[in-house]
Amino acid sequence: MPQKPRQPRTNRYKQQNGKGATALAVFLVLLLFVLVGSYYFLSWQQKEPPVVKLQPAGAAAPRPAQVFSSTAPDDLPRPIKEAGPDWEHYTDDAVPAPVAPLPRTKGSAELAIIVDDMGSSLQEIRSLTAIGVPLSYAVIPGLRHDGEVAAFAVGQGGEVLVHMPMQSKEYPQRRLEANGLLLDHDERQLQTLLEGYFERIPQAVGANNHTGSAFTEDVARMRVVLGQLKQRGMFFVDSVTTSATVGPRVAADLQLKTARRDVFLDNEQDETYIRGQLDKAVARAGKTGRAIAICHPHPTTIATLAKTLPGLKQQGITLVPVSKLVH
Protein backbone atom coordinates (compact mmCIF):
# COMPACT_ATOMS: atom_id res chain seq x y z
CA MET A 1 0.00 0.00 0.00
CA PRO A 2 1.26 3.45 -0.80
CA GLN A 3 2.99 5.39 2.03
CA LYS A 4 1.78 8.88 3.17
CA PRO A 5 4.17 11.70 2.41
CA ARG A 6 6.30 12.52 5.52
CA GLN A 7 5.47 15.87 7.13
CA PRO A 8 8.42 18.10 8.06
CA ARG A 9 9.21 17.79 11.78
CA THR A 10 8.59 20.93 13.86
CA ASN A 11 11.44 21.90 16.22
CA ARG A 12 9.52 22.87 19.31
CA TYR A 13 12.70 23.84 21.14
CA LYS A 14 13.54 26.34 18.39
CA GLN A 15 10.10 27.92 18.71
CA GLN A 16 10.48 28.31 22.42
CA ASN A 17 13.96 29.80 22.05
CA GLY A 18 12.61 32.33 19.55
CA LYS A 19 9.93 33.51 21.93
CA GLY A 20 12.45 33.78 24.80
CA ALA A 21 14.80 35.85 22.68
CA THR A 22 12.00 38.28 21.84
CA ALA A 23 11.01 38.69 25.49
CA LEU A 24 14.62 39.26 26.50
CA ALA A 25 15.04 41.91 23.86
CA VAL A 26 11.93 43.75 25.04
CA PHE A 27 13.17 43.59 28.63
CA LEU A 28 16.56 44.97 27.68
CA VAL A 29 15.00 47.85 25.75
CA LEU A 30 12.78 48.77 28.70
CA LEU A 31 15.73 48.57 31.07
CA LEU A 32 17.70 50.88 28.80
CA PHE A 33 14.86 53.42 28.81
CA VAL A 34 14.71 53.30 32.62
CA LEU A 35 18.45 53.82 33.00
CA VAL A 36 18.55 56.67 30.49
CA GLY A 37 15.51 58.33 32.08
CA SER A 38 17.02 58.06 35.55
CA TYR A 39 20.26 59.62 34.35
CA TYR A 40 18.54 62.64 32.83
CA PHE A 41 16.26 63.07 35.84
CA LEU A 42 19.16 63.11 38.25
CA SER A 43 21.12 65.48 36.02
CA TRP A 44 18.15 67.85 35.85
CA GLN A 45 17.83 67.94 39.65
CA GLN A 46 21.46 68.87 40.03
CA LYS A 47 21.28 71.61 37.42
CA GLU A 48 17.92 73.06 38.53
CA PRO A 49 17.93 73.85 42.27
CA PRO A 50 14.66 74.88 43.92
CA VAL A 51 13.72 78.50 43.37
CA VAL A 52 13.77 80.59 46.59
CA LYS A 53 11.86 83.84 46.58
CA LEU A 54 13.81 86.64 48.27
CA GLN A 55 12.34 89.74 49.80
CA PRO A 56 13.31 92.99 48.08
CA ALA A 57 16.08 94.92 49.81
CA GLY A 58 14.71 96.94 52.67
CA ALA A 59 11.36 95.16 52.65
CA ALA A 60 9.90 94.13 55.98
CA ALA A 61 10.03 90.45 56.79
CA PRO A 62 6.68 88.68 56.35
CA ARG A 63 4.74 88.38 59.58
CA PRO A 64 4.18 84.78 60.68
CA ALA A 65 0.61 83.55 60.52
CA GLN A 66 0.91 81.87 63.93
CA VAL A 67 1.10 83.95 67.07
CA PHE A 68 3.43 82.50 69.66
CA SER A 69 2.56 82.90 73.28
CA SER A 70 3.81 80.67 76.06
CA THR A 71 6.83 79.44 74.11
CA ALA A 72 9.27 81.16 71.81
CA PRO A 73 9.07 80.74 68.01
CA ASP A 74 11.34 78.09 66.54
CA ASP A 75 13.74 80.64 65.09
CA LEU A 76 14.29 82.43 68.39
CA PRO A 77 17.07 81.64 70.85
CA ARG A 78 15.52 79.73 73.72
CA PRO A 79 16.30 81.06 77.20
CA ILE A 80 16.65 78.80 80.19
CA LYS A 81 13.39 78.13 81.99
CA GLU A 82 13.27 76.82 85.52
CA ALA A 83 10.39 76.24 87.85
CA GLY A 84 10.18 77.91 91.21
CA PRO A 85 7.98 80.29 93.21
CA ASP A 86 10.69 82.95 93.72
CA TRP A 87 10.90 84.35 90.21
CA GLU A 88 12.84 87.50 90.97
CA HIS A 89 14.67 89.35 93.71
CA TYR A 90 14.80 93.09 93.26
CA THR A 91 17.40 95.36 94.78
CA ASP A 92 17.18 99.00 95.77
CA ASP A 93 20.47 100.01 94.21
CA ALA A 94 18.57 101.86 91.49
CA VAL A 95 17.67 105.16 93.14
CA PRO A 96 14.33 106.55 91.96
CA ALA A 97 14.49 109.77 90.01
CA PRO A 98 13.36 112.95 91.79
CA VAL A 99 9.68 113.69 91.36
CA ALA A 100 8.31 117.20 91.54
CA PRO A 101 5.52 117.58 94.12
CA LEU A 102 2.02 117.72 92.68
CA PRO A 103 -0.42 120.51 93.51
CA ARG A 104 -2.80 118.90 95.94
CA THR A 105 -4.98 119.36 98.93
CA LYS A 106 -4.38 117.76 102.30
CA GLY A 107 -5.08 114.05 102.27
CA SER A 108 -4.83 113.64 98.50
CA ALA A 109 -1.52 111.75 98.40
CA GLU A 110 -1.85 108.71 96.13
CA LEU A 111 -0.07 105.37 96.32
CA ALA A 112 -0.21 102.63 93.70
CA ILE A 113 0.92 99.09 94.51
CA ILE A 114 1.80 96.67 91.73
CA VAL A 115 1.88 92.97 92.56
CA ASP A 116 4.38 91.36 90.17
CA ASP A 117 4.81 87.73 89.07
CA MET A 118 1.10 86.94 88.99
CA GLY A 119 -0.30 84.10 86.89
CA SER A 120 0.78 80.89 88.57
CA SER A 121 -1.89 80.66 91.28
CA LEU A 122 -5.58 81.44 91.54
CA GLN A 123 -5.38 81.39 95.34
CA GLU A 124 -2.97 84.32 95.28
CA ILE A 125 -5.32 86.55 93.31
CA ARG A 126 -8.28 85.55 95.49
CA SER A 127 -6.37 86.45 98.65
CA LEU A 128 -5.19 89.79 97.25
CA THR A 129 -8.56 90.94 95.93
CA ALA A 130 -10.13 89.98 99.26
CA ILE A 131 -8.13 92.80 100.92
CA GLY A 132 -10.67 95.14 99.33
CA VAL A 133 -8.36 97.92 98.11
CA PRO A 134 -7.35 98.99 94.57
CA LEU A 135 -4.25 97.08 93.43
CA SER A 136 -2.59 96.55 90.06
CA TYR A 137 -1.58 93.03 89.04
CA ALA A 138 1.35 92.35 86.70
CA VAL A 139 0.78 88.95 85.08
CA ILE A 140 3.61 87.01 83.42
CA PRO A 141 2.31 85.75 80.05
CA GLY A 142 2.69 82.02 79.69
CA LEU A 143 2.25 81.00 83.31
CA ARG A 144 -0.24 78.23 83.98
CA HIS A 145 -3.15 80.42 85.09
CA ASP A 146 -2.26 83.72 83.40
CA GLY A 147 -5.59 84.19 81.62
CA GLU A 148 -7.71 83.06 84.58
CA VAL A 149 -5.84 85.30 87.00
CA ALA A 150 -6.21 88.33 84.70
CA ALA A 151 -9.91 87.71 84.19
CA PHE A 152 -10.54 87.23 87.91
CA ALA A 153 -8.62 90.40 88.80
CA VAL A 154 -10.60 92.53 86.36
CA GLY A 155 -13.84 90.92 87.52
CA GLN A 156 -13.05 92.05 91.07
CA GLY A 157 -12.29 95.62 90.00
CA GLY A 158 -8.52 95.22 89.76
CA GLU A 159 -6.20 96.44 87.05
CA VAL A 160 -3.96 94.16 84.96
CA LEU A 161 -0.53 94.76 83.41
CA VAL A 162 1.63 92.53 81.25
CA HIS A 163 4.73 91.63 83.25
CA MET A 164 7.16 91.38 80.33
CA PRO A 165 10.12 89.01 80.88
CA MET A 166 13.35 90.73 79.79
CA GLN A 167 17.01 89.74 79.74
CA SER A 168 18.98 90.57 82.87
CA LYS A 169 22.70 91.21 83.15
CA GLU A 170 23.05 87.83 84.88
CA TYR A 171 21.47 85.91 81.97
CA PRO A 172 21.72 82.98 81.30
CA GLN A 173 22.72 82.18 84.89
CA ARG A 174 19.55 83.94 86.04
CA ARG A 175 16.45 82.14 84.87
CA LEU A 176 14.21 83.63 82.19
CA GLU A 177 10.88 82.48 80.83
CA ALA A 178 10.96 80.74 77.44
CA ASN A 179 9.14 83.69 75.85
CA GLY A 180 11.45 86.31 77.35
CA LEU A 181 12.79 89.26 75.37
CA LEU A 182 16.51 88.96 74.58
CA LEU A 183 19.10 91.36 73.21
CA ASP A 184 19.73 88.81 70.43
CA HIS A 185 16.19 89.23 69.13
CA ASP A 186 15.59 91.39 66.08
CA GLU A 187 12.58 93.64 65.57
CA ARG A 188 10.41 90.96 63.97
CA GLN A 189 11.13 88.49 66.75
CA LEU A 190 10.36 91.03 69.44
CA GLN A 191 7.07 91.96 67.77
CA THR A 192 6.08 88.29 67.53
CA LEU A 193 6.71 87.70 71.22
CA LEU A 194 4.86 90.88 72.20
CA GLU A 195 1.85 89.85 70.13
CA GLY A 196 1.85 86.61 72.08
CA TYR A 197 1.80 88.53 75.35
CA PHE A 198 -1.18 90.64 74.36
CA GLU A 199 -3.03 87.62 73.01
CA ARG A 200 -2.70 85.76 76.30
CA ILE A 201 -3.61 88.75 78.47
CA PRO A 202 -6.08 90.87 76.50
CA GLN A 203 -7.30 92.55 79.71
CA ALA A 204 -3.98 94.38 80.18
CA VAL A 205 -4.04 98.18 80.07
CA GLY A 206 -0.29 98.60 80.51
CA ALA A 207 2.97 96.75 81.06
CA ASN A 208 6.06 96.69 83.25
CA ASN A 209 9.34 94.79 83.03
CA HIS A 210 10.15 91.49 84.74
CA THR A 211 13.92 91.58 85.45
CA GLY A 212 15.47 93.31 82.40
CA SER A 213 18.53 95.04 83.86
CA ALA A 214 20.31 94.45 80.52
CA PHE A 215 17.37 94.83 78.15
CA THR A 216 16.08 98.11 79.58
CA GLU A 217 19.47 99.73 78.93
CA ASP A 218 19.18 99.08 75.17
CA VAL A 219 17.60 102.03 73.37
CA ALA A 220 16.82 100.31 70.05
CA ARG A 221 15.04 97.33 71.57
CA MET A 222 13.17 99.35 74.15
CA ARG A 223 11.95 101.56 71.33
CA VAL A 224 10.45 98.48 69.62
CA VAL A 225 8.75 97.31 72.82
CA LEU A 226 7.41 100.68 73.90
CA GLY A 227 6.36 101.45 70.33
CA GLN A 228 4.08 98.41 70.44
CA LEU A 229 2.55 99.65 73.69
CA LYS A 230 2.01 103.07 72.13
CA GLN A 231 0.17 101.53 69.18
CA ARG A 232 -2.20 99.76 71.56
CA GLY A 233 -2.91 102.79 73.73
CA MET A 234 -1.18 101.20 76.73
CA PHE A 235 1.34 102.61 79.22
CA PHE A 236 4.69 101.47 80.63
CA VAL A 237 5.83 101.35 84.25
CA ASP A 238 9.60 100.98 84.56
CA SER A 239 10.44 98.61 87.42
CA VAL A 240 13.90 100.26 87.52
CA THR A 241 15.99 97.11 87.87
CA THR A 242 18.99 99.16 86.72
CA SER A 243 19.82 102.79 87.39
CA ALA A 244 20.85 103.09 83.71
CA THR A 245 17.41 102.23 82.34
CA VAL A 246 16.40 104.13 79.21
CA GLY A 247 12.71 103.35 79.67
CA PRO A 248 11.55 106.82 80.77
CA ARG A 249 13.62 108.57 78.06
CA VAL A 250 12.37 106.34 75.24
CA ALA A 251 8.80 106.64 76.50
CA ALA A 252 9.11 110.42 76.47
CA ASP A 253 10.43 110.34 72.89
CA LEU A 254 7.45 108.25 71.85
CA GLN A 255 5.02 110.34 73.90
CA LEU A 256 3.99 107.16 75.71
CA LYS A 257 2.41 107.44 79.13
CA THR A 258 4.87 106.16 81.70
CA ALA A 259 5.95 106.08 85.34
CA ARG A 260 8.80 104.72 87.47
CA ARG A 261 8.87 102.44 90.47
CA ASP A 262 9.73 104.16 93.76
CA VAL A 263 10.02 101.38 96.37
CA PHE A 264 10.27 97.59 96.45
CA LEU A 265 8.35 96.25 99.41
CA ASP A 266 9.41 92.66 99.91
CA ASN A 267 13.03 91.93 99.09
CA GLU A 268 12.99 90.24 102.49
CA GLN A 269 10.16 87.97 103.53
CA ASP A 270 9.75 89.53 106.95
CA GLU A 271 6.71 91.45 108.15
CA THR A 272 8.74 94.11 109.94
CA TYR A 273 10.86 94.72 106.85
CA ILE A 274 7.81 94.93 104.58
CA ARG A 275 6.10 97.39 106.93
CA GLY A 276 9.25 99.52 106.91
CA GLN A 277 9.35 99.58 103.10
CA LEU A 278 5.67 100.45 102.98
CA ASP A 279 6.37 103.36 105.35
CA LYS A 280 8.98 104.59 102.82
CA ALA A 281 6.39 104.48 100.05
CA VAL A 282 3.86 106.33 102.20
CA ALA A 283 6.43 108.98 103.06
CA ARG A 284 7.31 109.50 99.42
CA ALA A 285 3.65 109.79 98.48
CA GLY A 286 3.15 112.31 101.27
CA LYS A 287 6.10 114.38 100.06
CA THR A 288 5.49 114.36 96.30
CA GLY A 289 1.79 113.55 96.11
CA ARG A 290 2.31 110.15 94.52
CA ALA A 291 4.37 106.98 94.79
CA ILE A 292 4.54 103.55 93.17
CA ALA A 293 5.53 100.43 95.08
CA ILE A 294 6.14 96.91 93.77
CA CYS A 295 5.77 93.64 95.64
CA HIS A 296 5.20 89.93 94.97
CA PRO A 297 2.51 87.44 95.95
CA HIS A 298 4.51 85.75 98.71
CA PRO A 299 2.45 84.56 101.68
CA THR A 300 4.18 86.95 104.12
CA THR A 301 3.67 89.87 101.72
CA ILE A 302 -0.04 89.14 101.26
CA ALA A 303 -0.58 88.79 105.00
CA THR A 304 1.23 92.07 105.71
CA LEU A 305 -0.69 93.96 103.03
CA ALA A 306 -3.97 92.64 104.40
CA LYS A 307 -3.08 94.04 107.85
CA THR A 308 -1.75 97.43 106.77
CA LEU A 309 -3.38 98.65 103.56
CA PRO A 310 -6.93 99.23 104.85
CA GLY A 311 -5.52 101.65 107.46
CA LEU A 312 -3.59 103.88 105.03
CA LYS A 313 -6.58 106.12 104.46
CA GLN A 314 -6.30 107.32 108.04
CA GLN A 315 -2.76 108.49 107.17
CA GLY A 316 -4.06 110.62 104.31
CA ILE A 317 -3.04 108.11 101.62
CA THR A 318 -5.39 107.03 98.85
CA LEU A 319 -4.65 103.72 97.15
CA VAL A 320 -5.16 103.98 93.39
CA PRO A 321 -4.56 101.85 90.28
CA VAL A 322 -1.16 102.60 88.77
CA SER A 323 -2.80 103.83 85.57
CA LYS A 324 -3.81 106.95 87.51
CA LEU A 325 -0.16 107.84 88.16
CA VAL A 326 1.25 107.55 84.64
CA HIS A 327 1.69 110.70 82.57
Look at residue 81 and tell me if it is in a domain: no
Residue 227 sits in which domain range?
109-325
Cα angle: 121, vertex 272, 86; to 5 degrees: 30
Look at residue 18 and tell me if it is in a domain: no
In this predicted model, what pLDDT tens digit does every residue of 205-244 receive, in sequence order? 999 999 999 999 999 999 999 999 999 999 999 999 999 9
Look at residue 129 and tell me if it is in a domain: yes
Helix (H) or strand (E) holding 251: helix 247-254
Distance between CA atoms of 66 and 62, rounded to whole angstroms? 12
Which percentage of the chain shows pLDDT scores above 70?
Answer: 67
Instruction: Using the predicted structure, report yes or no on whether residue 63 has a pLDDT greater than 70.
Output: no
Q: Give the CATH number, domain containing residue 276.
A: 3.20.20.370
pLDDT of residue 36: 59
In this predicted model, what pLDDT tens digit does every residue of 71-108 receive, in sequence order? 344 444 433 333 333 334 443 334 444 444 444 445 57
User: Which among 237, 55, 245, 95 has a CA at the least distance from the CA of 169?
Assistant: 245
Look at residue 200 and tell me if it is in a domain: yes
Widest CA span in the chain? 156
pLDDT band at 42 (very low <50, low <70, confident <90, very high): low
pLDDT of residue 51: 33
- Mean of pLDDT over the chain: 81
Look at residue 189 and tell me if it is in a domain: yes
pLDDT of residue 167: 98
Look at residue 13 and tell me if it is in a domain: no
Structural domains of the chain, count: 1
Report the b/e string of 97-119 with b at 16+ CB within 10 A: eebeeeeeeeeebbbbbbbbbbb
Going from the C-alpha of 248 to that of each of 75, 207, 244, 276, the distances in angstroms are 31, 13, 10, 27
Q: List CB contacts of 36: < 8 A, sequence separation 6 or more.
A: none
Lowest mean pLDDT among 13-17, 62-66, 216-220, 267-271: 62-66
